[in-house]
Amino acid sequence: MKKKIVTILSSIVIIFVILLMLIIHLPRNIQRDFLGVQIKAGEKNDETFEYVLLHFDGRFQKAFLTQASFVGYVVLESNGDVAEGEVNIRFHPELGGYLVFYSTDSSVQNNIGSIFIDSNFKQVTITVAEPVEGNLSRIHWSSDDGLIICAPASTREEAIIMSNDLMKNYLENKMEPIK
């Protein structure tokens, strides 16, 4: 009798855990607008500062046995300049994801850089890739002098703290923290 009760309780707990995991990891619609800042990394670059409006509209799925993903549309707007496009981002736990805008017919792509998010898609850092001097077909980003878009943030200090936190696994394996 005691063994039967333990088996039933164990089964209930297992079913509850499975249901909870499914609910947490189901894809969910994301429609988020952020006000953030664009800064240039590096202590010598503290004068580079712009406000940026970010808009995400799509479906976000947390990772369970696979990588987290976001499929949808992204808009980045700053000083009247707009970059937008369809995206299909797969987030690696340590490397973030690649932010590549695709045209609606998927014939043209624009590699913006890498994107890092928190687990609830409430904080975002984008490292903006720039052409390598002397080889315009290659792009590069560095924590010494690379462009960063961070949201929600309203100051350079907030952006640096949030970016270092979101990118900590990436930075500790590859380069110095952002200053």
Which residue range is the domain that position 87 belongs to? 27-174
In a domain, 5, yes or no: no
The arithmetic mean of pLDDT across residues 66-75, rounded, is 90
Q: Is 72 left (phi over 0), alpha (psi -120 to 50) or beta?
A: left
Per-residue pLDDT tens digits for 83-102: 999 999 999 877 789 999 98
Q: Is the pLDDT of residue 12 over 90?
A: no
Per-residue pLDDT tens digits for 155-170: 999 999 999 999 998 8
The residue assigned the tokens 């988020």 is 32
In a domain, 64, yes or no: yes
- Give the chain's domain count: 1
Residue 23: which pLDDT band, with cuts at 50, 70 and 90?
low
In a domain, 55, yes or no: yes
The pair of structure tokens assigned to 41 is: 């990394």
In a domain, 147, yes or no: yes
Neighbouring-strand partners of residue 82: 77
